Amino acid sequence: MSLEKVGTILELFYSTTEKRINTTELTLDNKGIVGDKYYDKDIQRSVLITSQESYALALNNGINAPKNALGENLLIDYNPYHLNAGAKLSVGDLVLEITQNCTLCNSLSKVDKKLPKLLKDDRGIFAKVVHSGVIKQGDNIYLLK
């Protein structure tokens, strides 16, 4: 298996029952993000990866959405939305497997009423953890081929 560098981790986020938290490091295992309110809830949707291109698309359409408004766990400088389910990304010392595109979410209308429809196919992509580890802000992202 070969590695192709495709991007970098820009920001990391997780959710508690009270709020969203920006952090410089996340620990993940096969149940998801340790400490996240969605930990061990739906393994197929345990990590939401969003490209900075989603925020650029919103901005180009007059919507200035703050980082983490899309509910992402990983904000990256690579657009993974074309990857098929089963594709694997290596980040830090862990491996993520793409499971599905992120579905339309009406909670995005809290930012702007046009946002859910605008980002219908460009909000993010879900992944599950296949090899546990730690991700840090600034880590490189590799596509496993």
Q: All domains of the chain, ordered by start, with CATH?
A: 3-144 (2.40.33.20)
Buried b (16+ CB within 10 A) or exposed e, 35-55: ebebeeeeeebbbbbbbbebb
Q: What's this model's pTM, rounded to 2 decimal places?
A: 0.95
Helix residue ranges, H only, the chain: 52-60, 115-118
- First-to-last alpha carbon distance for the chain, in angstroms, is 6
* Distant-in-sequence, close-in-space partners of 90: CB < 8 Å, separation ≥ 6: 3, 96, 141, 142, 143, 144
Q: What is the pLDDT of residues 84-136, one digit of tens each?
A: 999 999 998 899 999 999 877 778 899 999 999 999 889 999 999 999 999 99
Looking at residue 13, its pLDDT comes to 98
- Under the phi-then-psi rule, with left for phi > 0, alpha for psi from -120 to 50, and beta for the rest, what region is 68? left
- Looking at the chain, how many residues does it have? 145
Looking at residue 103, its pLDDT comes to 78
Looking at residue 1, its pLDDT comes to 73
